[in-house]
Structure 1
Amino acid sequence: MFEMVPFKKRKEDAFSQLARSFNDIFDDEWLTPFRTLTTSFKADIRETDQAYLVEAELPGFKKEEIEIDYAHPYLTIKAVHNEEANEENDGHQVIRRERRYGEYVRRFYVQDIEEEGIRAALKDGILSLEIPKSKRADRKRIEIRDGK
């Protein structure tokens, strides 16, 4: 389109052209398969006096497709979805075959928790985790002595 001043061409310096070319390379669709090999999911994290509460959005996943692991100090949630759909006509000829694969992974840094007390539930595509905090005191008051 035309600029505000009639018939004036927009001049770009070499750096602007290089930056635009660089961005165009990484915006291309040919990189899309590499970006989506491992995808993250959205999660809400709340803290109470007794526990951390995590709600992760995993719509369409069954509980058998979700793994939850704790290896001090990281809690990892991994969900793998592998789906294949086939449609055949009366002559058993394939009319349509579609496959979908997705792996979603999130790691959370948590420490001073009771590992044995972690509870998880899946309902309506929301994975809820309750991660109880350690019962030991996190803070210790240090008394100051008179210096001599």
Structure 2
Amino acid sequence: MTNEIMDRRNDIRDWMNADPWMNGFSSIFGDNFPTNDTLKTDIKESDTDYAVRVDMPDFDKKNIDISYSNNTLTVSGHRDNFADHNDNKGDVIMSERSTGRFARQYHLPAVDENNIEANYNNGVLDIKLPKMTETKDNSHHIEIN
């Protein structure tokens, strides 16, 4: 079911990127509007867990927040200005790297919230979200004598 939800989301995103007016929408707001390149994500699902991998280049680990609530994983963070963006001499020809606050949400149901693990290394955030194990019925039938 989760894959069906993600497929629908990807179909909408693909449609927006294919439409010439929607594809240029971010340029209306200037360089600080998050682009499609922000927080690129891969999600894998197995019988036991979800594995989420988010590209977050040039983010400082202390500026990344991860939360899980109501079946939704939220990854957010902010990236400060780049040291080499200073253009006092007027020599920057093009600048495509974005700075500012970024966030993404992912619907991942039935996760064991207490055992979520995250690791950030070389600009990639890896999150493992174990699925809830089915609770077994601990009751048993007692015969009446």
TM-score (normalizing by structure 1): 0.59
| Residue 75 to residue 38, structure 1, CA distance change in 2 (3 Å) | farther
The AA in structure 2 aligned to 1:103 is R
Aligned Cα root-mean-square deviation (Å): 3.7
Counterparts of 1:64 and 1:31, CA distance in 2: 31
Aligned to 2:64, which of 63, 66, 70?
66
Counterparts of 1:67 and 1:29, CA distance in 2: 25
More helix by share: 2
Report how many residues are paired: 111
Aligned to 1:33: 30
> Relative CO higher for 1 or 2, CA cutoff 8 Å, sep ≥ 6?
2
Residue 106 (structure 2) pairs with residue 108 (structure 1):
yes
Q: Deviations over 1:51-91 (max 9, x none)?
A: 100111011112111100111121100021112649xxxxx
TM-score (normalizing by structure 2): 0.60
Counterparts of 2:53 and 2:27, CA distance in 1: 33
Structure 1 gaps of 5+ residues are 1-22, 87-94, 138-148
Aligned to 2:54: 56
Structure 2 gaps of 5+ residues are 1-19, 90-97, 136-145
More strand by share: 1
Query: Which entry has the higher C-alpha Rg, 1 or 2?
Result: 1
After TM superposition, give the deviation of residue 29 of structure 1 in Å: 8.0
